[in-house]
Structure 1
């Protein structure tokens, strides 16, 4: 009977209960497998779309779904079952035209099973019970909890049914779910999405995406916010998913990876029943079923008769339109699948396997993807079709004699999903069922599935289960709560029972521990301090070789993209190897989130994975970086997020980082929980005797933006075997720190600071932290290194004090972040005494403080400062003075190593920018590293109106000169400003005859946005991020080439200049022209700095005022940091947002704080012409948010902490 079908379904991605287009409007064409004709065009999810779906799912999970009543979830699942049954004809028709499944099979199996599964798991919503147990100390109980954001990657062979196998238990348990539908048969998912909305599921509980497995599927598998992946499909893809999980967050994975089902037919079997089930087992849905009975073993006594009857029943199946009732077999799902099956048939013939029937060269329809039922007999165990999953209507038939023989044959496979046994002997059936290595055994039937019975495999058929209670368990975590009952005496208590509750997650791979606390362990052999004069460490040398191979691969692509005229790329590449490739570094300055977010924009502007960068000709420079260094905001944000996200794209970083969550209140917005967790972590560390400081508490703020799996990551973990860094997939991250030395460092009001002056910049110790080592190269107190992994170990005279007790895990990622942003001394000197310390301040009027050793006095009125409060709270919780808590305190690995270190047991570390070198360039100019080209992005707010003026770059040049380190000469500030070097990309060192690097200076300046917002900003809307990142892109690409069409070539010339010289390649004339236009010629300018030079306007829209931009782009609700006009008046704070910063510099008072938030910052007394004023009216650097009092309390009885503030670096 003919069936006319007209179906309308949306073709967009289903995100947040809406159908939306994919990023860049990417699509996939779907065809009808019966005819090969175009069926539909659907949106194809890209990585950004997956990120949108994850955000939607996470919001739904955390806001309400996980706490939803079981009765609510039950009602919704039952309602969905009703709707599936109501629209059964439409769903079956979709599977027929989309997946090639027979209409009647879809109706009777797929659709019916989907409804049954919804109802079955609906009944479980209020039965997720745990157990109670007695323990020696009291009692314990378990409870089942939802996992969180989960994903299901679904195959095309029975898509609706298998989708609901995963959807129903996931939702019943309280998870949210992202479904990746198969790219060749996604239309059922579009219809299912409509039913999800109609059933009443809240937005975000279910998101459904069609997309390529290599894009959408891989992004889900790697996504650190996705806590579980349930996958049904091939073993090859299953392994990739497991690898992706291992690389990221070790998410829960369940996989069903196909099968090679043995069917064992004994001579005593019911003849008709056996034939009916065996023939169905390999021909139903063309054998495109994981549990297909493709290996058919028939006992010798009935073998010939069985083969003849099997052939009679299967060889002449009527193929055609799966919508027709007369059709017995439909098409395979795609041309690729047909070619795959035909390939197996041809291989069997080449292996001289005996063909029973089937002619792969003749199809029922020349247009569709049809393959006739095919059978081979007397198939040997070694035959390819007997060992590999064909996933088509191809039967492999062989004989057996004994029970033992057939068991051995059945188990002779890497798969173990499903088996079938046909016999009248029940005892035999039970014996074989016990012996066969399969997840499911059916006796005297084939392929039945039931909602209440588990389905899954052994061996390479995967692990985990769908369906049944076991299937539900896969979607839950088990928490064990142990209650110890203790009696104690309290004078006012009538009943004195204290419950000390220990909650421990008992799920696999997540043991209960204090993840922030370092551990004592055996020392490695020969743990010593390495002398810096020995050059690079063996670990870094080895890594450079690995990275060099990756750079070699990427370099040629980059040069082709950059398109340098008349440059013999191949000739240049032929002369290179991994040791002679360009060594390129990137430096991201301090400057809080102003530098941190802008630095991410520069990373993207040079990233070959970013289409706009490739179009601009700059894409690929990121891929040839060997080093990326950061300090303060550039270290805690840019470098840390890039490294913690495995050097991924900015799009991927934004997908897992909720920048709208203020890092000073935590990822969930629950301040009480956030601060309690911070102090509990620090307290656990203190209890074991490790030093704790504000770098521990403040440092955990920055973990808000780290991937969830990196919250307690050690910095040295970045170099672990198998990591992205170890495999050379990205540049080596470097974080720089400075130090204060009691009795040596200058003071103001008893607050020490590193104390740069005109002659001692090089003599201030500059420490660097890499995944390999911690230490200092030249200058300062020490020239040595210790492996970062063993930071915290007590050392003396270069060796471990106790060789059996070393410390591992001290180098927490967040501690390093908190250390490099630890500028509390500068903030307090500025707030308490109006004496600025940062590089933007004059360095001539600093004063020496007294040498008294009593604690730092806090001026009246400053006690409620949130910055003071966080230090005070750290001090009071850990029995320290205010002064003791203010530094990043590390056990000194260099104690006794030289005279300068003597008996110094601890290092007191601070923000590296406090030496006056706000750009972390020093690690990149160490001669041992031989860096050829350095990209310096600076957003230090050192200049007027919080732009830059070149002071920090000058200070680096001065320090390098003092230390005899080659570095380009840098002009005076006046020259930097009047020649526009502080507002556009500029090269330095092009004509330098020394061995120093060539430097590209990228100063934060307005191109499309006023990116001089407050470096105190702790959260960003998407619009604010986009504006900041696009501005950095325009800066890095020179206005996307609009100011100089040759800019991309100029950039590549600079990147390769030193390397080309080494291998004897002359750069073309175009490079000479580039350097003449964009490189400082060494001549100072006599021009005077004018207000026009300082009051910058966006280069790509010079008529755009700050006021207009702020009201239309930066959005109301965020306090502005932009100073307005020549007086530097402050922008107004948005309603409900933080107060705006006054303009820094300029002759005049800074603006007042914005309304609706806390007190705003006053304008910074800037440059040489600005004057230092008081807080909120000049030079103060007050908090951007209001503070609430923090009650004090002992370590083990932590207070409720409720305060917020924005912090900068």
Structure 2
């Protein structure tokens, strides 16, 4: 099989004024509050900002979706359903993408998978699903998958194509230049490494001197940012999460809505499980749909001391706490894995020489203090919640509850998606491949304490995933809505795309912190081939089957007639309930 070559695209540019931290660096700073402002709202639906943004995005995704489905069904015997779907905007399918965690493995594999859906990738229209990313409404990421989402979105919605082209360009600062570990960024040039770490520690110290608690996650996020935002001053030390609101590409809704996911760590426990509160960060808000919080706050003003959303000092708010690298680090706190990778001695030296005067001992969780949800009253009082009474909110890697694919923000009923494409780059098996465990965890969560407001299609156990080979090829879950009526609502159909070997051994260790240019290209290439089953060489009908999956929910709700070819597709790709443990 052949590898789809990448097309050169223009360099990253920003248009419009870029809103950075008012301090000009990593430290947050006080600003004057708006009179009578309240920064908290109940999670009773989408925010007004998100709704207004969706009105603009829907107009663009409708055109992109029509173009893709027309191409995908070009060889079908009857495509009259398209006329019915696009005769009314409410009938147009809405889709989202979710990129799993798994360190650099997930970032690079996920990049290849996502590039197969992006019409900015040369060959994606001929050998992939080019245009579906342009038709997507949402894009969520967690841990390594969040590094992918964050890199693309906060670099002005650059493309994987553009990043790959720059790998061999010695005249540019290269995104994802992983030749050297973040722990020794200069390689044999120790002076460069020391200078980099001195800058990181100074930046984190500035935040502490400004009166905010810090931890190793601040250090982790700052170190990572140099690899994600190399063209920005000091690796984007003043780049804020909310600054994306000022990007023309986001204001004009020319990109999907990006979401990051993290888990709450109970203040009286070191454990995280399916009953932990799951948080999302989006361009407008941070918060949770879970009944243990049921609230969102304006992400721009994190760091402001509040009581039930009202600033304690009505003249003082804070901006700049929502540093992009810090939020990406919050969703990917894997410093414990760095120590396992043979760098424990270096970490120990860093803690004694640098971090001892900056961070608290064992501070390996992200500290959001002051707690933006202090004294919030929107949670279900019948459930235990330690969030609203705490001065500091502690967040950890979003995969620690077993849900390594960030599906919860995309399956919430309020966002009304029809299909979610789930990229699974987990290392569940003994040889480092996925086995569906993340889907199983999300499925099980709906029947626990936190499952009151969620629904997820039935999935088999992990043994069945492996024994039926569902962990080696795309599989559809929830194909028949009539079988899901006993759930809280009809959830989106899930298109599961697990990491599998085609042209490269992509089951690399999460502890692997360096990748040569050849290795990065190999991983990304294999991701493209995983999503397309070898550029459609294993199944030339797969693109049409993806079209069938996308149309399915709207076809069911409108009682339209699917093309006959879809029956064969569903027989091939839908899990039919068989258990093979």
TM surpasses 0.5:
yes
Of 1051, 1056, 1074, 2:569 maps to: 1074
Taking the TM superposition and a 5 Å limit, the aligned residue runs for 1:49-64 are none
TM-superposed CA distance for 1:1069, in Å, is: 1.2
Q: Tell me the residue number matched to 2:478.
A: 989
Cα 1:970/1:865, change in 2 over 3 Å: farther
CA displacement, residues 1016-1037 of structure 1 (integer Å, 9 cap, x when unaligned): 2333222212211121111111
Matched, 1:1013 2:508: yes
TM-superposed CA distance for 1:1062, in Å, is: 4.0
TM-superposed CA distance for 1:572, in Å, is: 3.4
Q: Tell me the residue number matched to 2:316.
A: 805
Cα 1:935/1:929, change in 2 over 3 Å: same
TM-superposed CA distance for 1:249, in Å, is: 8.5
Q: Tell me the residue number matched to 2:408.
A: 922
Paired residues of 2:458 and 2:477 also in contact (CA < 8 A): yes
Paired residues of 2:440 and 2:459 also in contact (CA < 8 A): yes
Whole-angstrom CA distance in 2 between matches of 1:658 and 1:957:
34
TM-superposed CA distance for 1:648, in Å, is: 2.7
Paired residues of 1:919 and 1:938 also in contact (CA < 8 A): yes
TM-superposed CA distance for 1:875, in Å, is: 4.2
Matched, 1:753 2:239: no
Structure 2 alignment gaps of length 5 or more: 167-173, 485-489
Number of residue pairs the alignment of both structures matches? 543
Equivalent position SS for 1:1000: strand
Cα 1:613/1:905, change in 2 over 3 Å: same
Matched, 1:600 2:122: no
CA displacement, residues 637-692 of structure 1 (integer Å, 9 cap, x when unaligned): 21111112332321213324152443515776611111011011111111110121
Matched, 1:876 2:402: no
Whole-angstrom CA distance in 2 between matches of 1:897 and 1:864:
40
Q: Tell me the residue number matched to 2:487.
A: none
Whole-angstrom CA distance in 2 between matches of 1:567 and 1:663:
51
Cα 1:1064/1:511, change in 2 over 3 Å: closer
Q: TM-score, normalised by structure 2?
A: 0.87
Whole-angstrom CA distance in 1 between matches of 2:346 and 2:373:
34
Of 694, 707, 717, 2:243 maps to: 717
Q: Which has the higher contact order (CA 8 A, sep 6+)?
A: 2
Of 27, 46, 65, 1:517 maps to: 27
Whole-angstrom CA distance in 2 between matches of 1:638 and 1:647:
11
Matched, 1:683 2:191: no
TM-superposed CA distance for 1:959, in Å, is: 0.7
CA displacement, residues 1109-1146 of structure 1 (integer Å, 9 cap, x when unaligned): xxxxxxxxxxxxxxxxxxxxxxxxxxxxxxxxxxxxxx
Q: Tell me the residue number matched to 2:525.
A: 1030
Structure 1 alignment gaps of length 5 or more: 1-22, 25-45, 49-214, 225-243, 251-509, 746-751, 832-861, 1087-1209
Whole-angstrom CA distance in 2 between matches of 1:527 and 1:866:
46
Cα 1:1026/1:661, change in 2 over 3 Å: closer
Whole-angstrom CA distance in 2 between matches of 1:812 and 1:936:
27
CA displacement, residues 492-522 of structure 1 (integer Å, 9 cap, x when unaligned): xxxxxxxxxxxxxxxxxx9996411112111
Q: Tell me the residue number matched to 1:974.
A: 463
CA displacement, residues 421-441 of structure 1 (integer Å, 9 cap, x when unaligned): xxxxxxxxxxxxxxxxxxxxx
Q: Tell me the residue number matched to 2:277.
A: 765
Q: Tell me the residue number matched to 1:895.
A: 374
Q: Tell me the residue number matched to 1:736.
A: 261
Whole-angstrom CA distance in 1 between matches of 2:29 and 2:390:
23
Whole-angstrom CA distance in 2 between matches of 1:872 and 1:919:
36
Paired residues of 2:201 and 2:355 also in contact (CA < 8 A): no
Paired residues of 1:773 and 1:788 also in contact (CA < 8 A): yes
Of 932, 938, 949, 2:424 maps to: 938
Whole-angstrom CA distance in 2 between matches of 1:1042 and 1:981:
18
Whole-angstrom CA distance in 1 between matches of 2:121 and 2:250:
21
Paired residues of 1:617 and 1:1048 also in contact (CA < 8 A): yes
Matched, 1:528 2:45: no
Cα 1:864/1:723, change in 2 over 3 Å: same
Paired residues of 2:38 and 2:309 also in contact (CA < 8 A): yes
Taking the TM superposition and a 5 Å limit, the aligned residue runs for 1:72-151 are none
Equivalent position SS for 2:26: coil
Cα 1:691/1:971, change in 2 over 3 Å: same
Cα 1:526/1:766, change in 2 over 3 Å: farther
Taking the TM superposition and a 5 Å limit, the aligned residue runs for 1:572-971 are 572-577=84-89, 579-635=90-146, 637-654=147-164, 655=166, 656-662=174-180, 664-665=182-183, 670-707=192-229, 708-709=231-232, 711=236, 712-720=238-246, 722-743=247-268, 745=269, 752-754=270-272, 756=273, 761=274, 763-779=275-291, 781-824=292-335, 864-870=344-350, 875-878=355-358, 880-883=359-362, 885-891=363-369, 892-898=371-377, 900=385, 901-962=387-448, 963-964=451-452, 965-971=454-460
Whole-angstrom CA distance in 2 between matches of 1:1062 and 1:797:
40
Matched, 1:246 2:15: yes
Equivalent position SS for 1:698: helix
Paired residues of 2:309 and 2:373 also in contact (CA < 8 A): yes
Whole-angstrom CA distance in 1 between matches of 2:413 and 2:351:
39
Equivalent position SS for 1:987: strand
Quick check: which has more Rg, 1 or 2?
A: 1
TM-superposed CA distance for 1:576, in Å, is: 3.2
RMSD: 2.7
CA displacement, residues 677-726 of structure 1 (integer Å, 9 cap, x when unaligned): 10111111111101211111111121122232371311111122x53122
CA displacement, residues 525-566 of structure 1 (integer Å, 9 cap, x when unaligned): 553354444200001111111111110121122123323512
Equivalent position SS for 1:246: coil
Paired residues of 1:919 and 1:952 also in contact (CA < 8 A): yes
Equivalent position SS for 2:134: helix
Taking the TM superposition and a 5 Å limit, the aligned residue runs for 1:307-706 are 514-564=24-74, 565=76, 566-568=78-80, 571-577=83-89, 579-635=90-146, 637-654=147-164, 655=166, 656-662=174-180, 664-665=182-183, 670-706=192-228
Paired residues of 1:961 and 1:967 also in contact (CA < 8 A): no
Paired residues of 1:556 and 1:573 also in contact (CA < 8 A): no
TM-superposed CA distance for 1:988, in Å, is: 0.6
- Select the structure that is richer in strand: 1
Paired residues of 1:719 and 1:771 also in contact (CA < 8 A): yes
Paired residues of 1:987 and 1:1080 also in contact (CA < 8 A): yes
Cα 1:248/1:659, change in 2 over 3 Å: farther
